[in-house]
Structure 1
Amino acid sequence: MKCIRSLILVLASASALGFLALLSDTAEALETQAREAFLIDAGTGAVLLDKNSEVSMPPASMSKIMTAFMVFERLKDGSLSLDDKLPVSEKAWRMGGSKMFVEVGDQIRVEDLLRGVIVQSGNDACIVLAEALAGSEEAFAEQMTAKAREIGMTNSTFANATGWPDPNQRMTARDLATLAKRIITDHPEYYHYYSEKEFVWSDIRQGNRNPLLYKNIGSDGLKTGHTEEAGYGLTASAFQNGRRLVLVVNGLGSQKERSAESERLMSWGFREFGNYALFEAGETVDEAPVWLGAEKTVPLVVAEDLIVTLPRSVRNGMKVSVVYDSPIPAPVPSGLEIARLRVSWPEGVPIEVPLMAGQDVEQLGPFGRIGASIKFLLLGTP
């Protein structure tokens, strides 16, 4: 028999819990001038805004986030260090577009090249790194595509390390958000480069083009992009009051529009949504009756801390229920998924997460099972 039990909860602050479980797909409707836009809560995975997030688009210099990620991976596995010096080829020196202004024959530290890529958006610095790490920019682009597939960026392909216009240089807004989250979580020791507002090389001072770094909204990364085909884009992250949001926009008409729209969307995400703690890992959510068990009930527990991201306006309309087939037949091993926790709210897509048996429940012996069966036949209860 299907059993659905409603629960009454007192919502706690999200900051009370250390681990945030991947949860909701709320995707509120909000008009935006961006051709593509994707806004997520990085902690819970909740989608706050989705406009064409799966559409293949030219990422322009936002491609350089992947270039830097490839370098971070090499730093992490120890095959490269920040102090290693890499040679500048004529191809790198001749590369057009935004530049770090390296010179042919120079030997440049990896850390300086990274800052040239991240802060100055230097195409020349990208090529120096690509050629040193893979032998050629083309080979490096193939490695970028392979790594993208490995980390779940299934709709991204790379033809170069810079984002230079090419029909095979394509990403989606969702993939860019995935990449931003991976850099923040996998390589926190290098993420600080994205918040640097300027970098000087060859006596040339260049400022970071990320407009959100200069606004008081907690932004600390990541990267702008612009080509005629792509329009003006930005992959950004900001942190406020224990919450981190990641925003991707592309296809905007000007630098001014990119600045204003990205600030508006990021501020909207922090203002209109909140994170609410429901249960801690291992906490008993409910008790389910057990059929022919040594215990009459088994506790239903969540495996991880459970936090949901909801529009603040619907917080009081949230409903939480437990769904399972009752009674649960014994034996019941601890950790077995035996129920679902369902969270719903007005006009939202319900969330469901598994509930596990919180302890072992052994089956009754032969005489116990006979007695329980007789009781059920006479009284209709387990």
Structure 2
Amino acid sequence: MGAPFDSCRLEPVLFLRYLFSSASLTLLALSISTPAFAQYNSAAPHAVIMDFETGQILYEKNARQPMAPASMTKIMTVEMVLEAIKSGNLSLDAKFTVSEEAWRRGGTKSGSSTMFLKLGSQVRVEDLLRGAIIQSGNDACITLAEGLAGSEDGFAAQMSARAKTLGLESATFRNSTGWPHPEHEISAVDLASLSRHLISEHAEFYPIYSERSFTWNGITQSNRNPLLGKLTGADGIKTGSTEASGFGLVGSAKRGDDRRIIVINGLANKAERQAESLALMEAAFSQFQIYNLYKSAQVIGEVDVYMGKSATVPAALGEDIKMGLHISQRGSTSAKVEYVTAVAPIAKGDKIAELVISAPGKDTQRYPLFATQDVKAKSLFGKAWTSLLNKIRG
């Protein structure tokens, strides 16, 4: 087997600067430079743009700080219900009873978003889902929580546990509605990731988020999402607002094969939320792109082999590399191959180098490079002769 990769003894051997075009990526052996670029700046205190296909964060502003999510919490509440349906533990036709607790804290007299459920009535899960998604009904969410877990506190504990299994490390839920609580929080990045999961894993239910209104108990309420009907491709997902959180939105839109998810929070009013959500989503499509940098199995360079029958071995990637960038970053993205001299014998598939890609404002990305062929070691005579020559050459 080849020598293990030692990141502490890396010797840079090739510096590549990328010049992008609409059709291809041209690589030139130039020194790395980082010209200034005009990055987008959201007016929201918390903001993120995520590419749906890759999950890459295209833009972020205070996006990893836990924040009060208000009714955007209900994305997690709905995910819990849909997961129960998917697993076969719940059906859309199942009925839950509206308790006094749900009616008192989430009903007409609560002063909060409500579905206008009647105390003691039995309501189908499918209707409760629409009440939670379209009408943002707190009574609908509490009824679902009690129906699934016996109590809202128990359901909130399950929400937090589920969030951790989904990798949402910032998330702690204390209720099903987003009602203010000092320990109830999640970051904008994790809200985007949660939404990506819901859209991907529960695609058959996602169209509910684009329904413009829902009527219950003779009362029709409109979907609060300010993107619907105003932005091309918009089809979700959830607004939220409390005094603690300010006005926020998780939005999603699809144009052609591209889908973007945005999260904003902390704005002063509905007008600011609408203006910033429209601006950020337009920027998500017009100012940010996913660039296909390399293909899997593409040979990146040649790595020197010590004591091998071949002096070098081609090094190739094991995966496609895509990177989301602001369009102004195209000319300042750079790459280099880092490696240590590999010692024969080397087997095809051995890790022998790393490709390091850098872009301004983004974390450096490292990708392993693998030998594309076997390299046998020299014979004992060959090794001795090579050692002698190396001594003569100093």
Task: Give the superposed CA RMSD.
Answer: 2.7
Q: The residue matched to 2:163 in structure 1 has which SS?
A: helix
Partner of 1:24: none
1:123 Cα deviation from its structure 2 partner = 0.9
> Contact 2:18–2:333 (CA<8 Å) still a contact in 1?
no
Confirm or deny that 1:354 pairs with 2:371: no
Seen in structure 2, the aligned counterparts of structure 1 residues 344 and 194 have a Cα distance that, compared at 3 Å, is: same
What do the CA deviations read for 1:351-371 (whole angstroms, capped 9, x no partner)?
Answer: 332223334434344344334
Matches within 5 A, 1:194-233: 194-233=209-248
Deviation at 1:133, TM superposition (A): 1.1
The correspondence of residues 63-74 of structure 1 with structure 2, limited to 5 A, is: 63-74=73-84
The residue type paired with residue 278 of structure 1 is L
Structure 1 match to 2:97:
87
Q: Does 2:38 align with 1:38?
A: no
What secondary structure is seen at the aligned counterpart in 1 of 2:96?
A: strand
Say whether the 8 Å CA contact 1:88–1:104 is kept in structure 2. Answer: yes
Tell me the equivalent position of 1:280: 295
Does residue 360 of structure 2 align to residue 339 of structure 1?
Answer: no
TM-score by length of 2: 0.84
Displacement, 1:74? 1.5
Match of 2:170 in 1: 155
Gaps of 5+ in 1: 16-26
Aligned residue for 1:6? 15
Partner of 1:53: 63
- Structure 2 SS opposite 1:213: coil
Cα distance in 1, alignment partners of residues 250 and 205 from structure 2:
17
Instruction: After TM superposition, list the pairs within 5 Å mapping 1:91-106 onto structure 2.
Output: 91-94=101-104, 95=106, 96=110, 97-106=112-121
Q: Deviations over 1:332-361 (max 9, x none)?
A: 344433222122356765433222333443
Change (3 A) 1:308 1:300: same
Counterpart check, 1:261 vs 2:276: yes
Output one character per residue of 1:139-184: Cα deviation in whole Å (capped at 9) or x when no partner. 0001111112222222221111011122222222222122112212
Corresponding residue number in structure 2 for 1:319: 334
CA distance in 2, matches of 1:371, 1:40: 57
For 1:366, the equivalent position in structure 2 comes to: 380
- The structural deviation recorded for 1:70 is 1.1
Contact 1:85 1:109 in 2 (8 A): yes
Contact 1:300 1:339 in 2 (8 A): yes
C-alpha distance in 1 between matches for 2:123 and 2:21: 51
Q: 1:209 to 1:121 in 2, by over 3 A?
A: same
d(CA) in 1 for partners of 2:88 and 2:389?
67
Q: Structure 1 vs Structure 2: percent identity of aligned residues?
A: 45
Pair 1:238–1:14, CA change in 2 (3 A): farther
Secondary structure of 1:179 counterpart: helix
SS in 1 for 2:209: helix
Q: Is the 8 A contact 1:13 1:276 kept in 2?
A: no
Gap regions ≥5 residues in structure 2: 1-9, 25-36
* Aligned residue pairs, count: 368
98-107 vs 227-236, which moves further: 98-107
Against the structure 1 CA distance between its residues 346 and 251, is the aligned structure 2 distance closer, same or farther, given a 3 Å change threshold? closer
> Which of 270, 277, 290 is matched with 2:285 structurally?
270
| Paired AA for residue 274 in structure 1 | Q
Normalising by the residue count of structure 1, what TM-score does the alignment of the two structures yield? 0.86
Pick aligned residue for 2:307 from 284, 287, 292? 292
What is the distance in 2 between the residues matched to 1:294 and 1:72?
59
**Alpha carbons 1:217, 1:267 under 8 Å: kept:** no
- Aligned partners of 1:226, 1:338: CA distance in 2, in Å? 52
Looking at structure 1, the residues matched to 360 and 102 of structure 2 have their Cα atoms a distance apart, in angstroms, of 55
The one-letter amino acid of 1:68's match is V
**Secondary structure of the structure 2 residue equivalent to 1:32:** coil
